[in-house]
Chains A and B, each alone.
Chain A
């Protein structure tokens, strides 16, 4: 069976110059963007939240050329957002979205795909929420991860919004998934 399969096209890095192709309006280029960091556009009767964070490389420096994609689907809302870390002060990213509903009793989460120069293959992680402590406590996937590393997946409620920093390496290295 497996010898009849085609080989996957290999991944290559997004490189440092993706902005005018993938996030053109955010960076001020004259081309329309596929998506941006407002994932709530056109939605009604929702409670928007903001998620803000920084992507750090192993040296501790904030990465200014990463592209962050958020993918979420709770059965009611399928949402997508995309933002580069090169335009905001401190090289942060910010998204406006809604918190997904829990599905099948699992803790709600948002998928994150991370691309950057220096990554030949993109990284997958997830955003869980600190104010879902009860569901987080019973979530099989979260509980399967060592307690000290589990915390890297949980966005911290911070007034009206959430903070979610991503560490590529180091003692606070974010949990990344093989999916």
Chain B
């Protein structure tokens, strides 16, 4: 079956392009049927940053942008494993991260939320999975923030993740949420994911990685699209 071989998006868990409750999709979702190209071409996809040289503090968002003090908020450590759909670890996969600060404010110039910026926190970083597909980074727990989708709309606390994996089909941008957030049921971006997929976006509190007197730990495992070892390079 072509669909089996192509490792397509799993529509049981992936959100649709058009989701009316998330209003920005109305003018931005492709409306014509997608075209399926021949599978053999998928391997030609460009570099994958396996050898990217991380900065010494890229993996520590609490420290990588300090100016004259410490970043304010609740320190957390986030870890997890990145695998393909067969559960095989994906080593040396670059992860890019960005998020709001503890007050729910993004550094981005367009963010007009009336909450304080933190001069010692930019809210961006990177890490790489190790030889076993594991990653870990330190940050400040992001705050919830309001947005204009509907009256009194608030986004649940989340961290943005961007991953490359083995080729262009494994490319993923997603958001990691925190357990028990009361905003889940009111958030059309989270709820655009079919019910089967939603819990996959929620990190788990993890005492085993929690650092005594320092930072709470969360675990967030990530599964990138792909099942085939060759010729897709994604192990």
Contacts and interface: CB of A to CB of B under 8 A. Distances in A.
A123 to B, nearest CB: 6
A10 B197 contact: yes
A119 interface: yes
A122 B173 contact: yes
A139 to B, nearest CB: 11
B46 A111 contact: yes
A79 interface: yes
A49 interface: no
A74 interface: yes
A61 to B, nearest CB: 8
B37 interface: yes
Contacts, number: 228
B200 interface: yes
Given A113-B171, A179-B36, A21 B31 contact: no
Contacts of B38: 140-141
B171 A58 contact: no
A118 B55 contact: no
B14 to A, nearest CB: 5
Contacts of B13: 7-8, 10
B122 to A, nearest CB: 6
Given A31-B65, A122-B173, A10 B201 contact: yes
A5 B174 contact: no
B30 A168 contact: yes
Contacts of B193: 10, 12, 120
Given A5-B227, A10-B193, A16 B108 contact: yes
B223 interface: yes
Interface string A111-153: 1010111111111100000000000000011001100010000
Interface in B32-57: 32, 34-38, 41-42, 44-47, 49, 52, 55
Nearest to B45: A71
B129 to A, nearest CB: 14
Contacts of B12: 7
Q: Which one of A13, A103, A177 has the greatest number of beta carbons of chain B within 10 Å?
A: A13
A119 B160 contact: no
A11 B41 CA distance: 23
Nearest to B10: A8
Contacts of A120: 15-17, 19, 22, 25, 189, 192-193
Interface in A1-37: 4-22, 24, 27, 29-32, 34
Interface string B70-93: 000000000000011111000000
Interface in A64-93: 65, 70-75, 78-80
B162 A22 contact: yes
B197 A71 contact: no
Contact of B9 (A27, A121, A140): A121
B46 A58 contact: no
B15 A17 contact: no
A158 interface: no
Contacts of B184: none
B130 interface: no
Given A12-B189, A178-B36, A74 B44 contact: yes
B111 A173 contact: no
